[in-house]
Amino acid sequence: MDTKLAVLIDGDNIPSAHVKEMMEEIAKYGNPTIKRIYGDWTKPHLSKWKNLLLENAITPIQQYGYTVGKNATDSAMIIDAMDILYSEKVDGFCLVSSDSDFTRLATRLREAGMKVYGIGEKKTPNPFIVACDKFIYIEILKNQSLEEPSASSEKSKSTDSDIDKITAKDIKFISTTIDDVADDDGWAFLGDVGSLLQKKQPNFDSRNYGFQKLTPLIKSIKDFEIDRREDSKGHFKLIYVRLKENQPKPKPSSKPKQKKQSNGKKKLISKL
C-alpha cells in the first residue's frame, strides 16, 4: 500500500523551473494525494506557476499579505498542515520550502507520527533540514533534468558548481556509520548503512556528490572495500562494505633512543 502524502509548497520561496522533476522525486516516496501551493497570486512574480499548476494538478491557495513585511503565506500553510494532520487522511507530508519558519511545523508533524520530507534549495537553514526525516535539494533535481540519459553512466554529469566535493569530514561520517552497524569482521550491509546515514543527516544524498546511488559513491572512496554476496536463495546480490585494513606501520626511529634513556634511569635508581 502506497504512503499517502500531502505536498505543501511555499510559492514565495521556491522557484517554478523544476516542479516536474520535484513531483517525480516525491512520487518515489509515496502517492501525493493532496497537492497545494500557497502564495499571493495577485503578485506578478508568481505568474510563472500558472501553466505548471495545471500540468501537475496542484491546487493554488490564495493568501493576501495583510501588512507590509509580514508573510501571511507561511501561516496559511501551517494551519492547513495541522488541519490535514487531524483529518487523518495522509501518512506523511512533503514540505517544499527554503524557509526555516517551517522548522517547528516539521517537528510537530513528526511528533504526531508523520513521515516528513523536505525539499528546498541549498541555502535552506540547517534547523529546517534536520527537522525532516529526509531533505532533498532542488539543485539535485535541476542537475537530473540537464543530464543526457546514459545506461552505463554511474556518475551524474552535473555542473561542478552544484556538486559537493567529498571531504575528510564526509569520509569520517561514513566510516563511523559503517562501524555502527558492522559485524565482528567489520562488514556492514550497505542498505543498513544508507538508512543510518539518512537518520543521522537528513540531507545526506549520494547525488549531492554527483553519484546516482550510494554504491558508486562508496566505490569512489579508496578507504572502503565492497563485497557482493548472494542471498540464501541465490536470487539477489547483497552489497556489503567495510573499511580497508590498515597497512603495517613502519617502526619509529626514536624507539632505540627511548630504551637507552630508560636503562639510564634504572642505573640511577640502583645507585640510590
CATH of the domain at 5: 3.40.50.1010
The confidence score (pLDDT) of residue 248 equals 37
Q: How far apart are CA 61 and CA 63, in angstroms?
A: 6
Q: Are residues 167 and 134 in the same domain?
A: no
Domain of residue 141, residue span:
1-146
Q: What CATH number corresponds to the domain at position 181?
A: 3.30.420.610
- Domain assignment present for 165: yes
Q: How far apart are CA 60 and CA 229, in angstroms?
A: 49
The confidence score (pLDDT) of residue 41 equals 85
- Domain assignment present for 167: yes
The x, y and z cell numbers of residue 99, run together, are 524557509
Report the predicted TM-score, pTM, of the whole model to 2 decimal places.
Answer: 0.77
Q: Are residues 140 and 117 in the same domain?
A: yes
The x, y and z cell numbers of residue 81, run together, are 498542515
Cell 502517492 found at = 31
- Domain assignment present for 254: no
The confidence score (pLDDT) of residue 40 equals 86
The confidence score (pLDDT) of residue 160 equals 58
Q: How far apart are CA 268 and CA 120, in angstroms?
A: 71
Q: How far apart are CA 102 and CA 134, in angstroms?
A: 14
- How many domains does the structure of the chain reveal? 2
- Domain assignment present for 267: no
Tens digit of each residue's pLDDT, the chain (272 residues)? 689 999 999 988 888 888 889 999 999 999 999 999 998 888 887 888 888 888 899 999 988 766 555 567 888 999 999 999 999 999 999 999 998 999 999 999 999 999 999 999 999 999 999 999 999 999 888 766 555 444 334 444 445 567 888 999 999 999 999 999 999 989 999 999 999 999 999 999 999 998 989 999 999 999 999 998 887 776 678 899 999 875 333 344 444 444 444 455 444 344 44
Q: Are residues 16 and 138 in the same domain?
A: yes
Specify the amino acid at residue 19. V
Where does the chain have alpha helices with state H? 19-26, 49-56, 72-87, 103-111, 126-130, 138-146, 168-181, 190-200, 214-219, 255-271
Over residues 167-180, the pLDDT tens digits come to 999 999 999 999 99
Q: Are residues 129 and 49 in the same domain?
A: yes
Residue 100, CA distances (Å) to 106, 120, 137, 153, 222 in order: 10, 10, 15, 36, 37
Q: Are residues 126 and 6 in the same domain?
A: yes
Residue 214 Cα to chain centre, angstroms: 12
Q: Are residues 189 and 87 in the same domain?
A: no
Q: Are residues 47 and 132 in the same domain?
A: yes
Over residues 95-130, the pLDDT tens digits come to 999 989 999 999 999 999 999 999 999 999 999 999
Q: Are residues 132 and 106 in the same domain?
A: yes
The confidence score (pLDDT) of residue 71 equals 66
